Amino acid sequence: MTRYAAEFTKAHPQIAVKVTWVPGDYGSKLNASLLTDGAPDVFEIGDFSQALARRGQLAPLDDVYGAAKAEFSQGNLDYVTVDGKLYGVKMIDDVMMLYYRKSVLAKAGITPPASFDALVAAAKALTSKSGKGLFVGNDGIGDMPSLAVLSNGGQLVADGTVAYGSPQAVEAVTALKRLTDDQSLLLGFTTDWWDPSALVQGVVPMQWCGLWAMPAIKTAQGDDFGVLPWPAFKAGGSPVVRVGGWTSCVNAKGKNVDAAKSFVKWLWVEQSALQKDWSESYGFHVPPRRPVVEAADKLTQGQAKETVELAAKYGKSNPNTWDSEISTPFAAAAKKILTGQGDAAQLLADAAKQAQTALDKQRS
């Protein structure tokens, strides 16, 4: 990023860019900084929040996109849209999906699961005294509740309403208990789901993880792995891959808004080569702009290409209202459901009611 900033200043001598890299708890430090006069003019956020825009913290960036707007997926545009305006430019897409060991499933006579029932059956069949069939996180929950809802045609938040108390949500989240009851899930591993060690070390044959882990998996397993979306819950549902990533935003309260917007436009809209470099050279990610993806050699072959195609077809991002006050009640209810503590419909209804209060406050 320091190199990019220097290249920008070379092209725009009237604008100097100072890069501050923040280690540790970046989110907390950023939020604290935004309450002061020393807040950065441009900053990155991992989970875009429309609350920042509603508080007047973010500058609208519609004019930054220009004709390149058509090159971004609708999902990425929706993610940064608040009341019809665009308040960020996606820098990278982080795609999360199911990895599986081809040889292990083939030896067990198991076809890569294309439905939730098939996933449950595969995880159970691949579980033995020496190991479990599936790793989704050390808590045995991970992203499963939200994936379940989306894969059954439900939504988490829709049009200002918390929607995870719907019948589709109740049905799908309740069904996750089958994996818990079968004791098919790996729990308490030395690293969590975002690290591929459980799959790489042969502890499990199936793991929910991200594209960033693919180089390490390929180094360890060669081509003996495949990628899948979280399967459709049932007929009429849809497979799901989660799309996260980072977004570049401009501080509306900063002293250099126009210069900051120039930098964001130059780097994340105009500089295809640097966008490709950012995604391929420092981790492994998908550039949000389609022409850059098509030019990224590492993403045009093998399992990486399959992942890009899955994201384009089934990719879902968390709602831009999905902060801790909205997501935590859902996660707490899901944990109780998976461990048999209470009525699923009531638990999700209560969680949705609690979250709706927070959402109404967030949107006010």
Any idea what the CATH number is for the domain that residue 285 is in? 3.40.190.10
Task: Count how many residues are written for the chain.
Answer: 364
Helices (H) and strands (E) in the chain, counts: 18, 10
Same-domain pairing of 103 and 125: yes
Quote the pLDDT of residue 364: 76
If 0-12 CB within 10 Å is exposed, 13-18 middle and 19+ buried, where does residue 224 land?
middle
Same-domain pairing of 293 and 303: yes
CA 326/CA 272 separation, integer angstroms: 36
Same-domain pairing of 87 and 103: no
Same-domain pairing of 183 and 324: yes
Quote the pLDDT of residue 293: 94
Residue 64's nearest CA partner among 275, 256, 262, 245 is: 262
Task: Give the range of the structural domain holding residue 217, as residue numbers without chain letter.
Answer: 95-241+320-363
Q: Please give the C-alpha separations between residue 106 and each of 100, 172, 196, in angstroms, as whole numbers.
A: 11, 28, 21
Q: Could you tell me which residues come within 8 angstroms of residue 354 by beta carbon, excluding any fewer than 6 positions away?
A: 329
Same-domain pairing of 261 and 279: yes
The three-point CA angle 344-48-155 to 5° equals 30
Domain boundary, last residue among 295, 316, 337: 316
The three-point CA angle 26-29-30 to 5° equals 80
What are the two backbone dihedrals, phi and then psi, of residue 112, each rounded to the nearest 5 degrees? -50, 125
Domain boundary, last residue among 279, 299, 316: 316
CB of 65 within 8 A of CB of 89? Answer: yes
CA 92/CA 46 separation, integer angstroms: 10
Give the global pTM.
Answer: 0.94
Tokens representing residue 281 in the block: 């050279």
| Domains held by the chain: number | 2
SS3 percent helix, strand, coil of the chain, rounded to 5, is 50, 15, 35
The pLDDT tens digits along the chain (364 residues) read: 999 999 999 999 999 999 998 988 998 999 999 999 889 999 999 999 999 999 999 999 999 999 999 999 999 999 999 999 999 999 999 999 999 999 999 999 999 999 999 999 999 999 999 899 999 999 999 999 999 999 999 999 998 999 999 999 999 999 999 999 999 999 999 999 999 999 999 999 999 999 999 999 999 999 999 999 999 999 989 999 999 999 999 999 999 999 999 999 999 999 999 999 999 998 999 999 999 999 999 999 999 999 999 999 999 999 999 999 999 999 999 999 999 999 999 999 999 999 999 999 988 7
CA 313/CA 107 separation, integer angstroms: 30
CA 172/CA 145 separation, integer angstroms: 8
Same-domain pairing of 148 and 229: yes
Same-domain pairing of 221 and 354: yes
CA 273/CA 281 separation, integer angstroms: 11
Q: Could you tell me which residues come within 8 angstroms of residue 1 by beta carbon, excluding any fewer than 6 positions away?
A: 19, 21
- What is the residue whose two structure tokens read 């009531």? 346
Same-domain pairing of 221 and 355: yes
Same-domain pairing of 33 and 162: no
Q: Please give the C-alpha separations between residue 63 and each of 89, 129, 261, in angstroms, as whole numbers.
A: 11, 59, 9
Same-domain pairing of 230 and 250: no
Same-domain pairing of 79 and 100: no
CA 199/CA 220 separation, integer angstroms: 10
Say how many CA atoms lie within 13 Å of 326 toward its Cβ.
Answer: 24
For residue 204, the one-letter residue type is V
Same-domain pairing of 131 and 226: yes
Residue 215's nearest CA partner among 192, 235, 196 is: 196
